[in-house]
Chain A
Amino acid sequence: MIAALLPTGTTPLLVAAIAAGTASLWLLLPQASGAGGRTGSLGGFFGGRTGLVGIVLGLAALAGLALAGRRLGGLGEEAAFQLVALVAIVGGAATVVTRSPVYSAIWFALALAGVAGVLLVLGAQFLGVATIVVYAGAILVMFLFVLMLAQPTGMAPYDRVSNEPLLAAIAGGVLLALLTTSIGRLSADPPACCTIPSRADAMNAAPSAPRADNTVPGVAAAPVAAAVVGAADPDALSADPVARLGRELFGRHLLAVEAAGLLLLVALIGAIAVVSRGEEAGTAERGTR
């Protein structure tokens, strides 16, 4: 707390808070030889005087961290983004290079967690949660079921070889270089077509657009909402993004949502039809032999 009162910058405060947290953790951990009369379970719940010092240090560290986070303005969108992006990329790379397909699927789950974090940082709350639920909860489990059904015992030889790994890696590197250079050029010189209109411009452009309130309209009122959402909305991603995404989906894209539902039904029926047809063919083959 003394560090918080000193008129210093944010970085020393952060360093002090992290150091205090480390020291607190070290002091609170059960150790064989601790100063301050810690002898087994006799030192009480707090582990004697050392434990009390550790708890005080830990509280100070939490306070310092919170203060530093407030000074940084919400503890760094950038830092959070780099962390989850690292998780996503490491998970994706491990998915591709791991030899065992089961481990590959599990690394893919980690990559999905990273991607969901990236989506959350980018302000797509619904999509982040949906990625976890749909991908990691349903699709990945389906992959694992098929693996358990179809995987031969031990590691198959075709899992230990790759088709032209050098050429494929070079092709991937060339594609990545192209993509990153074009993205960097975008960053250096944004095209005139794609600059974000300022809030005042957008207000002038659409003065009659009523301000969307927090109440989500029902599906019946969706076509009415569609006309509202169609207008340019400068802070669309800041206020209640999930409700607005729903309004966009069930307004502008209502027909596409219906088509997606139909697609899901067709895929379901098609999968069942293929399985039953395949079983019939298999029994017929066995019967003719």
Chain B
Amino acid sequence: MMFPSLVHDALVVGAVLFVLGLVGILTRRNLIVMFLSAELMLQGISVSLVAWSRYHGDFGGQALVVFVLTVAACEAAVALVFVLQAFSRTGRLDAAAWQELRDAEIPRRIDRELPASDAVSPVWPQLAPAGILPARDETAEPEREHV
């Protein structure tokens, strides 16, 4: 019998999510974003498991996804505690702040050419100062018929 195209597409989606999470956890330096990437990998696995569950027509894969959810919740709770501890020790959410723990033969990583700040600074809205009576706009008067 033909391999269902929906299952095929779902497996590809699961693979893409897994690879995205893998690249994220390899490259990003922020501890929180690294954990988000790990959760993304778990999501990819969940999609693959449910696709196989549909293909085989039983609920083993879906039951496994329930346990994946449970483990993800536990992992997030414990990991976030450790992230908070690490932050309170170093004041940074930087994974490279803990490179003293590396192996002896691995050279120390030194950041070069760190961008000083973003090229585009965020544009914040300008609020009018409060407590001043606004000047009346004569041209806008006809629009304010209910005031």
Task: Give the tally of cross-chain contacts (CB within 8 A).
Answer: 280
Q: Is the CB of B46 within 8 A of A139?
A: no
Residues in A neighbouring B58, C-beta threshold 8 A: 232-233, 236, 248
Quick check: is A63 within 8 A (CB to CB) of the other chain?
Answer: no
Q: Is the CB of A89 within 8 A of B16?
A: yes
- Say which residue of A81, A130, A163, A234 sits within 8 Å of B66 (CB atoms): A130
Query: For chain B, what secondary structure do more than half of its interface residues adopt (helix, strand, loop), or is it mixed?
Result: helix
In the complex with contacts A158-B30, A164-B26, A127-B62 CB distance below 8 A: yes
B residues 85-141 with Cβ under 8 Å of A? 85, 87-88, 91-96, 109, 111, 114-115, 117-118
By beta carbon, the residue of chain A nearest B8 is A187
Complex interface residues of chain B between 1 and 39 (CB less than 8 A to chain A): 1-3, 5-6, 8-13, 15-24, 26-30, 32-33, 35-37, 39
Task: Specify which of A163, A232, A237, A275 is in contact with B81 (CB 8 Å cutoff).
Answer: A275
Interface membership of A171, Cβ < 8 A = yes
Question: Which single residue of chain B is at the shortest CB-CB distance from A268?
Answer: B77
CA distance A88 to B37 in the complex (A): 13
Give B residues with C-beta under 8 Å from A: 1-3, 5-6, 8-13, 15-24, 26-30, 32-33, 35-37, 39-40, 43, 46-47, 50-51, 53-60, 62-63, 65-67, 69-78, 80-85, 87-88, 91-96, 109, 111, 114-115, 117-118
Q: Mark A229-245, 1 if CB is under 8 A from B, else 0.
A: 10011111100010011
- How many chain A residues sit at the interface, stated as a range, is 35 or more
Can you list 15 A-B contacts (CB < 8 A)?
A85-B9, A96-B27, A101-B36, A104-B32, A150-B87, A159-B29, A168-B26, A176-B16, A190-B1, A194-B55, A236-B58, A253-B63, A266-B74, A274-B85, A275-B84
Q: Is the CB of B57 within 8 A of A92?
A: no
For the complex of A and B, 8 pairs with smallest distance between CB atoms = A267-B74, A96-B24, A179-B15, A162-B27, A248-B59, A172-B23, A158-B94, A168-B26
- B76 CB to closest chain A CB (Å) equals 5
Contact A92 B63 (CB under 8 A): no
Please state if B23 and A237 are interface contacts (CB–CB under 8 Å).
no
CA distance A164 to B109 in the complex (A): 11
Which of B33, B57, B71, B95 is close to A104, meaning CB atoms less than 8 Å apart? B33
Please choose the segment from A18-26, A52-60, A211-219, A256-264 that sits at the chain B interface, where 4 or more of its residues have CB less than 8 A away.
A256-264
How far is A85 from B47 in the complex, measured between Cα atoms in Å? 10
Is A155 interfacial (CB-CB < 8 Å)?
Answer: yes
Residue ID in chain B nearest A121 by CB atoms = B6
> Are A196 and B83 in contact (CB-based, < 8 A)?
no
- Tell whether A271 is near chain B: CB-to-CB under 8 Å: yes
Which of A96, A121, A155, A268 is packed against the most chain B CB atoms within 10 Å? A96
